[in-house]
Every structure is written in structure tokens, then in C-alpha cells.
Amino acid sequence: MLFSQVASAVGLFAAGVSAHGAVTSYVIDGKNYPGYQGFSPSNSKDVIQRQWSDYNPITSCSSAKMRCNGGTSATQSATVAAGANVTAIWQQWTHSQGPILVWMYKCSGAFSSCDGSGSGWFKIDEAGFFGDGTKVFLDSETPSGWHIAKIVGGNKPWSSRIPAALAPGNYLIRHELIALHQANAPQFYPECAQLVVTGTGTKEPDSSYKAAIPGYCKDSDPNIKVPINTRTIAQTYVVPGPKVWTGA
Ligand SMILES: *[C@@H]1O[C@H](CO)[C@@H](O)[C@H](O)[C@H]1NC(C)=O
Ligand SMILES: [Cu+2]
């Protein structure tokens, strides 16, 4: 808590600098899996999460770090039955505007050769804006009207179901927060983990549900470059990327 309080203060008082965050652990099918800790990544090597070097914001849709915050490999994977939930936990997070996106990518073989390239990423979950944008809007205001406000604080979870119909195999799962609290200056925070999906599913999303990362958005998109301080955001804010695939 102390760190997060200090980080909040930095975010409040230093112009252009804010407190950041990353997925730091997972609960999958009831079991805890540690991820990296933002302050000493080299101390936690044998985890299911692809190692990221820092949790500074990514500020462009076209950044190579968009894929997995720069992470390319992990030594472990978690086994999860299709239809079960994966819960990501952010040890700290402070921004209460922006969408939450949860993506998956099917590896064609071993995780060690799975780089997440090509248009293979599909969303299994998303959450955006539900509030009254004319009244409740700024980072200091709660509730903000965004689901992301639910993970502000310490060790907050976000749970998503692996579609029950999804075919078994090796998959990457990518949790992404897009912080929109600075007008027209989005910040992306993605982390990936390695999942072995089991079960009797046979389906995969078709190409209309898939996108490349980087590539699913442009910096000029109206749901990416958001003039948040004008309080004029449409009540119909559309979460970036293709539509969510539920397997139904
Ligand atoms: C599982 O994830 C879904 C969203 O995909 C959510 O609605 C549901 O509440 C989650 N279940 C649990 C037990 O967390
Ligand atoms: Cu921040």
C-alpha cells in the first residue's frame, strides 16, 4: 500500500507522469499463479507470464511493445479447461478512465516458438463506459463511469471466461488496460501469459474476430484519441478492436 500511495502522489503532482501498473498475478481455475512484479522482474523467472521489462505506458498503437509489453517468453504455462475463468490481478492501478480488453492468440505449436505475430488475436472479454459522461468523468471523480475504476486500488481482480467452445491448444492470453485520463494521449498497458486450454471444444473464431497486435488500432481512432476533459464522450463508446468472441 505504501508504494501505491507514493505512486499516486507522483501521478498527481508530476505533470505528464502518472502511476502505472501491470498484471502481477493470476487466478486460473481456482489456483494462484504469480506473474512478474514491476519492481524486480528478474527475481521471478519461473512464471506463466511473459516477462516485461517495465510498466511504463505504451503511447502508440504501432509500438512493438503493444503485443505483450515487450515480453517474448515464459518458462511456465497454466492449464485451464475451456469454460473456466481466468482472473488477472493488478497489484496496483490508479486510473479510472478507459477500457479493459482481454485477448487470446492460438499458438501453432510450442510456446517457445509462439511469437504472437500475424492477425491471430481475438477478444474474449471487454469492458468500457457505462456512465453519464456529462456528469462524472475526470480521473479524480468516482465512480468514473468506466468498469476500469473497479480495479483501481490494490490487488484488484478482473475475471474472464475462456469460451467453452474453444478448441484445445496452446494459447497466449493478453490483458490490456487503455488509460484515457490524459486528454488525447492514451496509455496502453498489456501483459501476456501462457495457457494450455483443455476440453472438448472444437471452435475457433473466424477472421472477422481477429486482428494483429500491434495493428488493431490507429492513434487517431476516436476511441483511442479521446478528449476526455471535455466530458463529451459518447455514451456509446466502442471498445477498440474486433467484436468479442464468446464461441456461442
Ligand atoms: C467469469 O467471467 C465472466 C466474464 O467473462 C464473468 O461475467 C463472471 O462473473 C466470471 N465468473 C466468476 C466466478 O468470476
Ligand atoms: Cu499511470
* 150 in contact with ligand 1, CB cutoff 6 A: no
Of the candidates 209, 179, 21, the residue with the CA atom closest to the CA atom of residue 103: 209
Predicted confidence band at 39 (pLDDT cuts at 50, 70, 90)? low
Q: How many CB atoms lie within 10 A of CB 185?
A: 15
Of the chain, the percentage scoring pLDDT greater than 70 comes to 82
Q: Which CATH number fits domain 54-248: 2.30.30.60, 1.10.420.10, 3.40.50.2300, 2.70.50.70?
A: 2.70.50.70
For the CA of 160, the nearest ligand: 1
pLDDT at 40: 53
Query: What ligand is nearest to the CA atom of residue 163?
Result: 1
Distance between CA 129 and CA 55 in Å, rounded?
24
* Domain parsing of the chain, residue ranges: 54-248
Estimate to the nearest angstrom the gap between the alpha carbon of 185 and the chain centroid: 17
pLDDT (tens digit, 9 = 90+) per residue, 172-206? 999 999 999 999 999 999 999 999 999 999 999 99
191 lines ligand 1 (CB under 6 A): no
Cell triple for 23: 498484471
Q: Is 196 helix (H, G, I), strand (E, B) or coil?
A: strand
Phi, psi angles (nearest 5°) of residue 214: -70, 160
